[in-house]
């Protein structure tokens, strides 16, 4: 059972640690993130050491039979220290969380020192990779060793379960709530492991054996640890998934606005203060385009302002009548009419024909209060926009260039 469940838990712990490395490189000073990374690293080490072939190799390398036991269980104690410290940083003010972390750390170091000290008093050992606990349960030194380990383990799991359940009632984020409740469930499952190990200690004194439950003990320990790891990681994972969705939405919006932006940029090159980047390059590098998208939305609106003198009032009136007759209503109606107005204005600019009393854009009647709302409005315009057949270049419009030069003077 152990050699089946341990590799699964090792894979989850390792993936969790690797998944956090990118955030860790960018936020090395964020204590909760560092501690959470150490949770997964310590957990992975505990499972690595406990896998039978590695256990045997460690023993042979160090020349101490079963030294893998205190090494693996010390890693488990570190996991508990880091887990409780993460909760402290999530729930308490920074200064109080640091004090709580130092307290947990000191307790953990004390337990680890005690484990190695008691391990040194075990009787000359026979290597037992699968039933170490039940084989040595008659050894007084091992009883003291296991009592210390289980006391620390049980206390930490009860603390995790109670604190996570309490915080889950107060958390506002649904995935944080689910993560905390998953941790609580894992802590409850681990109680089965603790009960069987404590039963082994008591059984030797009161004449009963729990040896037949050793597979259940491993199952409860590994499944509980797995649930705990998932619980800690769930908010981070869902946050990353939401970030990926946002990245995808921004990439899609940036691409959808490109034809409209190109037409406006060709008509009014000054709207772009910097050269337009290649979206494919940003896509390959997996970079965010949120700032570039913000620039694009701003530049499109600037381009529309540049074209304002070339808006034919009759084009707007005819387009609104025709499109309303096709069943369009705002905001789609305003977007479709605005798209036709932009196309007509570019053509008028190409011919050098402006208007004494130009029309307003149809979408001016919409309430657009934020950049996000403006982007959505522009996406609707882009969906209806067809570039005019004429190409536009500043060199083709000397009158327009002279007018601008006069304005600048």
Q: What is the pLDDT of residues 155-195, one digit of tens each?
A: 999 999 999 998 888 777 888 889 899 999 999 999 998 89
Q: What CATH number has the domain bearing residue 209?
A: 1.20.1070
Identify whether 72 is part of a domain. yes
Final residue of a structural domain among 243, 275, 292: 243
pLDDT interval class at 398 (50, 70, 90)? very low
Residue 400 pLDDT > 90: no
Identify whether 157 is part of a domain. yes
What confidence tens digit (pLDDT) does each residue in 277-311 have?
Answer: 666 666 656 667 778 888 889 999 999 998 989 99
Segment 401-405 mean pLDDT: 39
Given this model, what pLDDT does residue 278 score?
67
Identify whether 264 is part of a domain. yes
What confidence tens digit (pLDDT) does each residue in 22-38 have?
Answer: 777 777 778 888 999 99
What confidence tens digit (pLDDT) does each residue in 92-125 have?
Answer: 888 999 999 999 999 999 999 999 999 888 765 5
Residue 5 pLDDT > 90: no
Farthest-apart Cα atoms in the chain, separation:
105
Final residue of a structural domain among 243, 269, 293: 243
Final residue of a structural domain among 218, 243, 268: 243
What percentage of the chain has pLDDT greater than the value 90? 27
| Mean residue pLDDT across the chain | 83
Are 267 and 303 in contact by the 8 Å Cβ rule? The answer is yes
Given this model, what pLDDT does residue 379 score?
93
Residue 409 pLDDT > 50: no
Same structural domain, 158 and 78 = yes
Does the reported pTM lie above 0.95? no
Same structural domain, 200 and 341 = no
Mean pLDDT is lowest, of 195-209, 243-257, 270-284, 356-370, for: 270-284
Given this model, what pLDDT does residue 404 score?
40
- Dist. CA 10–CA 226, nearest whole Å: 9
Given this model, what pLDDT does residue 3 score?
62
Mean pLDDT is lowest, of 21-25, 35-39, 313-317, 377-381, for: 21-25
Same structural domain, 334 and 292 = yes
Identify whether 406 is part of a domain. no
Please list, in sequence order, all residues whose beta carbon lies within 8 angstroms of the beta carbon of residue 104, skipping any fewer than 6 positions away: 81, 84, 85, 88
Same structural domain, 216 and 290 = no
What percentage of the chain has pLDDT greater than the value 70? 87
Residue 365 pLDDT > 70: yes
pLDDT interval class at 392 (50, 70, 90)? very low
- Dist. CA 143–CA 103, nearest whole Å: 26
Same structural domain, 278 and 305 = yes
| Structural domain range at position 34 | 2-243
Same structural domain, 262 and 201 = no
Same structural domain, 123 and 183 = yes
Given this model, what pLDDT does residue 141 score?
82
Give how many domains the chain has, as a whole number.
2
The angle, 0 to 180 degrees and rounded to 10, between the axes of the packed helices 52-62 and 68-91 is 110
Identify whether 261 is part of a domain. yes
Residue 134 pLDDT > 90: no
Segment 216-229 mean pLDDT: 88
Identify whether 252 is part of a domain. no
Same structural domain, 325 and 228 = no
Given this model, what pLDDT does residue 31 score?
86
Same structural domain, 283 and 156 = no
- Report residue 200 CA to chain centroid gap: 42
What confidence tens digit (pLDDT) does each residue in 58-95 have?
Answer: 988 988 888 888 999 999 999 999 999 998 888 888 89
């Amino acid at each position: 059972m152990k050699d089946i469940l341990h590799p699964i838990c090792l894979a989850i712990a390792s993936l969790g640690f690797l998944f956090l490395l990118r955030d860790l490189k960018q936020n090395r000073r964020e204590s909760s993130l560092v501690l959470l990374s150490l949770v997964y690293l310590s957990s992975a080490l505990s499972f690595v050491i406990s896998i039978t072939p590695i256990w045997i190799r460690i023993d042979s390398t160090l020349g101490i039979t079963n030294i893998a036991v205190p090494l693996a269980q010390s890693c488990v104690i570190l996991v508990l220290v880091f887990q409780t410290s993460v909760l402290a940083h999530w729930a308490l003010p920074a200064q109080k969380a640091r004090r709580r972390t130092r307290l947990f750390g000191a307790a953990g170091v004390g337990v680890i020192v005690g484990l190695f000290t008691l391990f040194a008093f075990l009787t000359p050992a026979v290597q037992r990779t699968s039933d170490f606990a039940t084989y040595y349960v008659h050894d007084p030194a091992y009883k003291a060793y296991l009592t210390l380990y289980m006391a620390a383990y049980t206390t930490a799991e009860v603390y995790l379960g109670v604190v996570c359940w309490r915080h889950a009632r107060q958390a506002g984020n649904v995935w944080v709530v689910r993560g905390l409740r998953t941790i609580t469930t894992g802590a409850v499952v681990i109680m089965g492991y603790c009960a069987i190990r404590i039963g082994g200690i008591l059984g030797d004194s009161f004449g009963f054996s729990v040896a037949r439950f050793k597979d259940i003990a491993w199952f409860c320990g590994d499944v509980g640890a797995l649930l705990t790891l998932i619980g800690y990681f769930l908010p981070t994972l869902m946050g990353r998934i939401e970030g990926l969705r946002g990245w995808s939405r921004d990439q899609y919006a940036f691409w959808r606005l490109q034809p409209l932006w190109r037409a406006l940029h060709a008509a009014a090159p000054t709207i772009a203060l910097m050269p337009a980047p290649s979206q494919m390059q940003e896509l390959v590098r997996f970079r965010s385009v949120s700032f570039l998208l913000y620039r694009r939305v701003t530049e499109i609106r600037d381009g529309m302002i540049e074209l304002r003198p070339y808006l034919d009032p009759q084009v707007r009136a005819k387009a609104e009548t025709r499109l309303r007759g096709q069943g369009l209503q705002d905001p789609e109606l305003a977007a479709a009419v605005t798209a036709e107005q932009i196309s007509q204005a570019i053509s008028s600019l190409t011919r050098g024909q402006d208007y004494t009393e130009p029309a307003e854009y149809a979408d001016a009647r919409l309430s657009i209060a934020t950049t996000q709302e403006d982007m959505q409005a522009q996406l609707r315009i882009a969906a209806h926009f067809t570039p005019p057949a004429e190409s536009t270049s500043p060199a083709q419009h000397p009158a327009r260039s002279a007018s601008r030069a006069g304005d600048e003077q």
